[in-house]
A = this chain, B = another copy of it.
Amino acid sequence: MTTHDHPSATLAGFAASLRTQDVPESVLRRAEDLYLDWLGSTLAGRSARAVQAIERYAQAMGPERIRDDGASEVLISRRTTSPHFAAMVNAAASHVVEQDDVHNGSVFHPGAVVFPAALATAQAIGASGREFLAAVVAGYEVGIRVGEFLGRSHYRVFHTTATAGTVAAAAATGRLLGLDSATMLNAFGSAGTQAAGLWEFLRDAADSKQLHCAHAASSGLASAYLARDGFTGARRILDGEQGMAAGMSSDADAARLVAGLGTRWALAETSFKFHASCRHTHPSADALLSLMRGHRVAADDIAEVKALVHQGAIDVLGRVVVPQTVHQAKFSMGTVLALVAEFGYAGLDEFDRHFLAPRVAAFRDRVAMQLDGEVDTAYPRQWIGKVQVRLRAGRVLEARVDEPKGDPGNTLSRPELEDKARRLAAYGEAATPEEMDCLIQSVWRLEREPRMGRVFSR
């Protein structure tokens, strides 16, 4: 791993030579978990206007339908096309409901860019499930490290999922195409020099986030295909004098690119999103759920909830008193706790259908936030959830969780992941329950799959 002459070459060499037998079993299983979670997120994005626009562009500019053998699948329309456009559209779909995975340290959503490129390539070349998994792990390990390398200063202006994501997609595709170390480095060079994505769109709530994922996945895939064909790129696109960090970061740390390669598995540090709300509400929601389950308390039993939070939660959530839109409701602590109390889950569907329901609104008004010293001190290293509940019967109960649901130390079980994926697919009206049964079973037997075929038979 350390025989290469600079960090980029070391990282490319790692990605090029990674085999599933080098990866711990637990990491491979987690990669399958993340794959199912990504499939659900992508299906949930099916009807979004921005996603549909990108699919129409792909239809207009790409091959309409190619033979099934070696064709890549657009999951939201089930048509086949070339890998470039399948990666583009699936990536556009995968981030739109914001339920896809996230790596906290790099502030990077690996699934949204790695899986679209890996799946499109694997289907096109008929790779095995094991080859697909190796490529996914390579993509995650590379992308997360590039994100960490680019640092906080990068994230202030650039959308790391878009920029680091281009290199991550190249790594995953490159691994599937069997690039050697030098060729993988060329793929990184072409990917890094196409890396783009600015936060400016947030000010206008514009559609760019979907374009960022689409661009990262398709440009990264293109970079790997071009490299296989002899197209060369800068060898130090990451840390060179006129490379990504030179242009787009002021606190880059090249040591992060190679830290723990082969021993630290960054993929396993990736969090699943559980509730469909602002992350600042999750610790309290989990604590309330734990309390209600542990004490067999129903929503109607509760007279008052105090969410004991860090200052950041008050800053972000304090402004929303009576939410007017679904989006605002996701930033209303009262609404989130009300949905959790009523339905056991604050998912996309619960928000869409119930955020203004009378019982939900009434519960919402019985919730207050209060700054808590312990919670505030631990943040952001640790996201502790604490609630204090006064029952109508008079008793006061307390509960806490030390890590929000979905983080590595409190991860989702396979039944929970299956449930989430089913809900997401139903939300997008993108697959029947029976189809989801098949899909879920196929993910759990991925490693034994001799040849990655279509996700949906039609």
Where the two chains meet, the residues of A that have a C-beta atom closer than 8 Å to any C-beta of B are 49-50, 53-54, 56-57, 60-64, 82-85, 156-158, 162, 186, 189-190, 192-204, 206-208, 211-212, 215, 219, 222, 225-226, 229-237, 240-244, 246-248
A232 to B210 CA separation, bound complex (whole angstroms): 11
Instruction: Give the residue of B62, B82, B208, B232 whose beta carbon is less than 8 angstroms from that of A206.
Output: B232
Residue in chain B with minimal CB distance to A243: B200
Determine if A157 and B247 form an interchain contact, defined as CB atoms under 8 angstroms apart. yes
Q: Do A193 and B196 have beta carbons less than 8 Å apart?
A: yes
Question: Among B60, B196, B232, which residue has its beta carbon within 8 angstroms of that of A82?
Answer: B60
Q: How many copies does the complex hold?
A: 2
Given known contacts A53-B231, A56-B229, A196-B196, what 11 new A-B pairs fall within 8 Å (CB)? A53-B226, A53-B229, A186-B206, A189-B201, A189-B208, A192-B200, A193-B211, A194-B197, A200-B234, A201-B233, A203-B234
Q: Are A242 and B207 in contact (CB under 8 A)?
A: no
Among candidates B200, B244, B247, residue contacting A236 with C-beta atoms closer than 8 Å: B200
CB nearest to A215 among chain B residues: B194
Contact B193 A195 (CB under 8 A): no
Chain B residues whose C-beta falls within 8 Å of the C-beta of A193 in the assembled complex: 162, 196-198, 200-201, 208, 211-212
- Please tell me if the beta carbons of A247 and B60 are within 8 angstroms of each other in the complex: no
Closest to A156 in B: B242
Q: Are B233 and A206 in contact (CB under 8 A)?
A: yes
Contact status A61-B60, CB under 8 Å: no
A183-B186 Cα distance, complex, nearest whole Å: 37
From the candidates B61, B157, B190, B235, name the one contacting A211 in the complex (CB within 8 A). Answer: B190
A247 CB contact (under 8 Å) in B198, B215, B246: B198
Partner of A63, one of B57, B64, B190, B242: B64
Residues of chain B lying within 8 A (CB to CB) of residue A162: 193
Contact of A230 with B190 at beta-carbon distance under 8 Å, contacts A195-B196, A242-B199 already known: no
Q: Taking CB as reference atom, which chain B residue is nearest A190?
A: B211
Bound Cα distance from A157 to B162, whole angstroms: 19
A237 to B202, CA, bound (A): 11
Report the 10 A-B pairs with minimum CB-CB distance, sorted nearest first: A61-B84, A196-B196, A200-B234, A157-B247, A199-B242, A200-B243, A201-B234, A206-B232, A61-B82, A200-B240
Bound CA span A54–B233, Å: 13
CB neighbours (8 Å) of A233 from chain B are: 201, 204, 206-208, 211
8 pairs of residues in contact across A and B, judged by CB atoms under 8 Å: A57-B222, A57-B229, A61-B62, A193-B201, A198-B244, A198-B246, A200-B242, A203-B241
